[in-house]
A and B are shown apart, each in its own frame.
Chain A
Amino acid sequence: MKLVRSFNASRISGVILAYTALLFGALIASPAYAEYGLNFKTPVTEIAHIEYDLHMLILYICIAIFVVVFGVMFYSIYAHRKSKGSVAAKFSHSTNAEIIWTVIPIIILVTMAIPSTEALIRMEDTTNSDMTVKITGYQWKWHYDYMDHDVEMFSSISTPRAQIENKQEKGENYLLEVNNHVVLPINKKIRLLITANDVIHAWWVPELGAKKDAIPGFINEIWTKIDKPGRYRGQCAELCGKDHGYMPIVVDAVTEEEFEAWVQKQKQG
């Protein structure tokens, strides 16, 4: 039976191509538009740099493969249409082709795996740290214990309830502001011990590239070494109950002198 075909396939494949170009153009261009929230925030630690570089490398490889494979597919859609008089070939097998498209992906995967392995080994090395902060997740706030400085504090969201309920205009840092900031010195290797008191949480500050689950009964560790003074905001990343969206993290990265002064002030206060 011959079906009535009332549409123009070349126009449609054109639309598909344009659409693809739009989607991926946006993604490729994303590093330049980082401030508009299309890509990772600007990294401020070695780990976040490693993650960013690896992310971009894999992304570009994926886009390249995507363009090649779907370029071939859309060319075929364009050229091998019945309406253009294309007569179906009979082949259904080619050992050479199948070997080629098994081997090439293996090579690509190996080139991805090598830098990934190096990065992971570097990231998991928490030895030789200068100081330790123990972080404990609670429903729904964080507790920080500066184990070498005898300072501890709770830190919870300070965005007014009225803003959340739309009764007041939302501030610039809506949902990303807390009563007690985590003050950390720059250029020090800081070991973070992460655990929880009730359910599983996850401590995450994107600019530090630090994310680790906070699990009751377990102590996880990561390290961070911040290059640039500044204020970095993050959130709990593991669903932890009704106020999971309301347990932000604010890190203040300061110079060593400022950090010492802050520690003294905490001890007196």
Chain B
Amino acid sequence: MTATTADHHDDHHDHHPSGIGRWLFSTNHKDIGTMYLWFSFCMFIIGGLMALIVRAELFMPGLQLVTPHFFNQMTTNHALIMIFGAAMPVFVGLANWQIPMMIGAPDMALPRLNNWSFWLLPPAFTLLIGSLFSPGGAPAGGWTMYPPLSIQTGMGMDMAILAMHMMGISSIMGSINIIATILNMRAPGMHLMKMPMFVWTWLITAFLLVTSIPVLAGAITMLLTDRHFGTQFFDAAGGGDPVMFQHIFWFFGHPEVYILILPAFGVISQVIPTFSRKPLFGYSSMVFAVAAIAFLSFIVWAHHMYTVGMPLAGELFFMYSTMLISIPTGVKIFNWVATMWRGSMTFETPMLYAIGTVFLFSIGGFSGLMLAITPSDFQYHDTYFVVAHFHYVIFGGTITGAFCAVYYWLPKWTGHMYDEKLGKIHFWLTVIGMNITFFPQHFLGLAGMPRRIPDYSLQFTEFNMMSTGGALLLGLSQILFLYIVMKAIKGGEKATDQVWDGAEGLEWTLPSPPPAHTFTTPPLVK
């Protein structure tokens, strides 16, 4: 119950550096997890500010605040920072904190590698954000970096390529660590098919990462050699093929989408049973569904490229394979609903976020199914409909999933209950702000507004104004989130070990907050 005594008891064999050294040289999964979480929150704010610049410029037709070139830098870097800086690291942070506690391990399998994975990120993002101040500015060709446009960019592109290599190395090492931890360090009795769903989704995500990130590394390296070393991989004039870049990029890019969403699925598969006070429905079909999604994610990539002029057979193949993904995804959604069915539900903030994630992600899932249909995609492609779609998936699925996880485990981490009332207000502000921001973008896209434009014709004005208003609300609401987390760190109602009366799993057998070293002797799982 009281953490302090346990702390001293467990710490005697370890010499903790204090001050900055504690963090710089940390090999402790909890400290590294905390650093990942704070880092991703900082990136979330920076990426969010970039989005607000974009939305502010789009509030009215005409150019008011920024030049088109700077606008393109903002859209590009918003995406890169949100994907690689916020959405991916937040789940690595959660994995660091939770996986050892959930499988009954004392720490991650490779603690020093863990330290290096994290500490690659700050320099990587300093380099990426620093590219804004380089001659010619930051990359402005979209986060997809299609050549030949990305060949035209100044040295900012090279800085971004180097930064992405560092992020990629960080992700690969982090994933290797997670795989090694899960496969080798489970407590006795915890068979694979007894693992919590969050651990399962991360195991599969980690395999997706080690498979797809090297492909991205290859693509951007070819881009770099095309830019500086006289190769012509993507230059048609030299016998190269600009479309090949798109194939390689999306071979990484589509698994990436599932890298972002699967751990969030894992989180809500923990949270819904807890607050329904009922075991997860269809555990083994959940595991198989995640595995099926992961497999399919490698054979659907060209659905991002229906307009490049593929042969009919190619278009049909990618349409069918993409449609297939909705089957395992549907299974997951049905299982969550069945978990709630005839439960004994309460609606604390994590549960609200879990329901919100299922709901919002499903909207993104349905628009995804619409986008899968090649003939109608010819109209949706590269419009705001696509922007709405992936924000429902990435904000509505990944980011709300991350909020869900933070509220769920925050009492465990800090030993204090967060302010439930404020948590609920944060939930409603976020969900309402998110919908006002992104729902009108469906209409904009259908009515014909292309994406990635700094200025638009008059017919699109009203919905853009609405979207900008929603974005402002969404952005400001996150200050409340910061306040709630800070307040829980500083104090508040003491959390019990169990925290939630319906919670099950090894992490809830530990004190809240857990001492620095936990499960030094493995628990026995029956």
Contact = CB atoms under 8 A, between A and B. Distances in A.
A244 to B, nearest CB: 6
Contacts of B359: 16, 70, 73
Interface string A9-22: 10010001001000
B420 interface: yes
Interface of A: 1-7, 9, 12, 16, 19, 23, 26-27, 30, 37-41, 48, 50-51, 54-55, 58-59, 62, 65-66, 69-70, 72-73, 76-77, 80-83, 86-94, 97-98, 101-102, 105-106, 109, 112-113, 116-117, 119-121, 123-124, 163-166, 170, 172-176, 198-200, 202, 204, 206, 209-213, 215-218, 220-221, 234-246
B446 A39 contact: yes
B421 interface: yes
B137 to A, nearest CB: 10
Contacts of A106: 327
Contacts of B187: none
B243 A218 contact: yes
Given A175-B455, A237-B381, A245-B453, A37 B447 contact: yes
Given A7-B347, A120-B375, A236-B450, A165 B312 contact: no
Pick from B376, B446, B460 the residue with the most CB of A within 10 Å: B376
Given A166-B62, A237-B382, A93 B281 contact: yes
A216 B382 contact: no
Interface in B290-343: 307-309, 312, 315-316, 319-320, 323-324, 326-327, 330-331, 333-334, 337-343
Task: State the majority secondary structure of interface residues on A.
Answer: mixed
Pick from B142, B374, B378, B442 the residue with the most CB of A within 10 Å: B378
A3 B407 CA distance: 14
Contact of A215 (B308, B316, B347, B375): B308
Given A83-B346, A102-B330, 6 more contacts: A55-B373, A66-B362, A77-B345, A82-B346, A166-B62, A220-B308
Given A37-B463, A164-B62, A218-B243, A116 B330 contact: no
Contacts of A88: 276-278, 342-344
Task: State the majority secondary structure of interface residues on B.
Answer: helix
Interface stretch (B8-16, B65-73, B120-128, B254-262): B65-73
A200 B149 contact: yes
A173 B417 CA distance: 56
Given A1-B501, A77-B355, A212-B307, A92 B373 contact: no
Nearest to B371: A58
A59 B385 CA distance: 13
B454 interface: yes
B64 interface: yes
26 contacts: A1-B496, A62-B366, A70-B359, A76-B340, A80-B341, A82-B277, A86-B343, A86-B344, A89-B343, A94-B282, A98-B334, A101-B331, A101-B334, A102-B331, A112-B323, A112-B373, A117-B316, A124-B315, A165-B62, A173-B457, A174-B457, A198-B148, A217-B241, A234-B448, A237-B450, A241-B149
Nearest to A243: B68
Interface string B439-460: 1001110111011111111111
Contacts of B454: 245
B141 interface: yes
A4 B500 CA distance: 12
B498 interface: yes
Contact of B347 (A5, A172, A202, A218): A5
Contacts of B276: 80, 88
B393 interface: no
Pick from A26, A54, A163, A211 the residue with the most CB of B within 10 Å: A211
Contacts of A27: 442
Contacts of A209: 378-379
A1 B459 CA distance: 55
B420 A3 contact: yes
Contacts of A240: 149
B184 interface: no
Nearest to B328: A102
A175 B323 CA distance: 36
Contacts of B448: 37, 40-41, 206, 234-235
Nearest to A19: B435
B376 A4 contact: no
A173 to B, nearest CB: 7
Nearest to B151: A199
- 6 shortest interchain CB distances as A-B pairs: A217-B236, A245-B453, A37-B447, A220-B309, A89-B342, A92-B279
Nearest to A23: B439
Contacts of B363: 66
Contacts of B381: 202, 211, 237
Contacts of A221: 309
B342 A245 contact: no
B247 interface: no
Contacts of B376: 51, 54-55, 58, 116
Contacts of B236: 215-218
A240 to B, nearest CB: 6
B140 interface: yes
Contact of B312 (A37, A58, A124, A237): A124
A37 B459 contact: yes
Interface in B114-159: 140-142, 146, 148-149, 152
A66 B309 CA distance: 33
A4 B424 CA distance: 13
B91 to A, nearest CB: 25
B282 A92 contact: yes
A92 B446 CA distance: 41
B370 interface: yes
B383 interface: yes
